[in-house]
Chain A
Amino acid sequence: MISNKTNIQSYIKIENNEIVLNGTSVFKTEPTDFADFAKQAYRNFEMQYPKFFKMDALSKLAFLGSELLLSPIVSAEKENNIALVLANKSSSLDTDVKYQESISDKENYFPSPAVFVYTLPNICLGEISIRHQLKSENSFFIFDAFNGEFLSNYSNILLNTNKADLVLCGWTEFFNDNYKAFLCIISAAENENYKNENINTLYHK
């Protein structure tokens, strides 16, 4: 039987120019746009991953969150069977619109393959996989609103059927410079720190 208990190991929130890791604010800027905020965050944490700069906003958002959660636990020496399960509301619409604008005028037509590859939301999963060499399961879902129950169930199924040792799951929403990321690491083992929490309570905290 599938266990209903979701064991959260760590979590991160990115919104309103601030990054909160496990309940503690670890980075904050003055109000600015996401591009500038993301760049400052990247520099602040000395991420050393130049591919970051070619990513679209959704991938940058997902990357920043996953970077702080995964870097301490991913090992270069062994296989990291960490599944990725993300969801949002606006899919890749932010980049889709930018791409559409580049082809909407017949006389001024500049489609860029570098933008085109980001016109799918699951590309951010690819970016995280490439960064950490994850060859594991991944899936991206679109929901009308945050659906903690779905994320918990899906992650628990992956863990209970031995499809993954850990699951990075959460919500990465980006459209028109409005953004919110909530990501957490879930495992089969219980973590005392979050014994009484679940995805919903932490998301709304």
Chain B
Amino acid sequence: MKGVAITGMGIISSIGNSVVENYISLIENKIGISSIQNIPTVHADVIKVGEIKKTNEELVAELQLSENNNFSRTAMIGTLAARQAVENAGITSINEFRTGLISATSVGGMDMTEKHYYDYFEKPELVKYITCHDGGDVAEKIAEELGLKGMVTTISTACSSAANSIMLGARLIKTGKLDRVIVGGADALAKFTINGFKTLMILSDDYNKPFDNTRKGLNLGEAAAFLILESDEIVAKQNKKVLARVSGYGNANDAFHQTASSENGDGAYLAMKKAFEVSGLKPSQIDYINVHGTATPNNDLSEGRALRRIYKDEKVPDFSSTKPFTGHTLAAAAAIEAVYSVLAIQNNVVYPNLNFEVPMEEFDLKPQTSLKNKTIEHVLSNSFGFGGNCSTLIFSKS
């Protein structure tokens, strides 16, 4: 059990524009949930979101894109995070080894499509945005910006997307198909997701409260994060610093409903079980669980029951959801939470599950509510997507 080496990370979210900024926010209770500014929506007064307070124009300037670019917001924040990760890993020659990019998204270029949809026939200058609609365009854009010529692919499995991209990357390294892979995801806020989740009646009008008995739903967020995974050969050859390792992963099908999780968390249970099998770890060896914890009535009940099933009569380790800080960043969620998991290992901390007050009546699970310092060897991180796509990752100290 050694796992695949993580040698770099990059992130942009509503709680910071870099890994350091995100970490400071997490340990100083600086939340990123606020009123929406960048998207005009009729729901502006009733929803709160984890928004990156940069306009598209500011992002274009920061990335130094040409005026005739057709970057979606998702591609812009994705590029920012991926560049940071590459730099953090000390990569100066991107095509030196067999390097790939696996990027997750659910929104893709939908933000531009919904903005310009009715104008395409009248305004030819906007037509350039049609080709950025495709989910795969985000990864292609990032690869182009990085000058990457290797394998580029996109995973879109709703809220477990980035977990699956990390998992696929780890498997490609393990089987020797790639030497190095940039894995993660990006999702910008869009009316598409705001209205969709509103229709499903799972948006909270308040700050989200994971695992609380009175939780009312989620706050949407936007973010991008990427990690660099490298083979042990490259790590040894270049004497690379290993931040942590991907030691376990599992993906399972809940087989229950298009947009809801099963009552007993079958998929969640199976995903965790598989991740333990891959890692060779016992559940009791986990020091911190970064739960999916979206604060919807359905997710937290289902996930909690799955945790109870995994731990049986044992005590469930310290756990928390970081979504009160960032909101639910959908396809990017597992990537930003992977960064947070690595930071938990590096700094030996458990982040607080903010806004928690009343334990759920269905079981005796209470998240960690304040910052806790303790030795962290192994972190388990859950991400469950619509369609019953459930994924678990385990990160371990190198």
Contacts and interface: CB of A to CB of B under 8 A. Distances in A.
Nearest to A127: B258
A136 interface: yes
A130 B267 CA distance: 12
Contact of A135 (B196, B200, B259, B270): B270
B222 interface: no
A138 B200 contact: no
B118 A129 contact: no
Interface stretch (B83-91, B213-221, B249-257): B249-257
B118 A135 contact: no
Given A113-B199, A123-B258, A126-B258, A135 B387 contact: no
B266 interface: yes
Give the contact-size bracket for chain A: 10 to 19
Interface in A104-157: 106, 113, 116-117, 122-123, 126, 129-130, 133-136, 138
B118 A130 contact: no
B265 interface: no
A134 B388 CA distance: 11
B258 A129 contact: no
A65 B335 CA distance: 38
Given A106-B118, A126-B388, A117 B253 contact: no
Contacts of A130: 255-257, 388
A134 B253 contact: yes
Nearest to B259: A117
Nearest to A123: B258
A134 B196 CA distance: 27
A138 B251 CA distance: 11
Interface string B382-395: 00000110000000
Interface string A169-199: 0000000000000000000000000000000
Nearest to B200: A113
Contacts of A122: 387
A135 B267 contact: yes
Contacts of B199: 113
A162 B392 CA distance: 21
A129 B388 contact: yes
A33 B254 CA distance: 34
A135 B253 contact: yes
B165 to A, nearest CB: 16
Interface string B235-264: 000000000000000001111111100000
17 contacts: A113-B196, A113-B199, A113-B200, A117-B259, A122-B387, A126-B255, A126-B258, A126-B388, A129-B388, A130-B257, A133-B255, A134-B255, A135-B254, A135-B266, A135-B267, A136-B253, A138-B253
Interface of B: 118, 196, 199-200, 252-259, 266-267, 270, 387-388
Given A123-B387, A126-B387, A134-B255, 12 more contacts: A113-B196, A113-B199, A116-B196, A122-B387, A123-B258, A126-B255, A126-B388, A129-B253, A130-B255, A130-B256, A130-B257, A133-B255
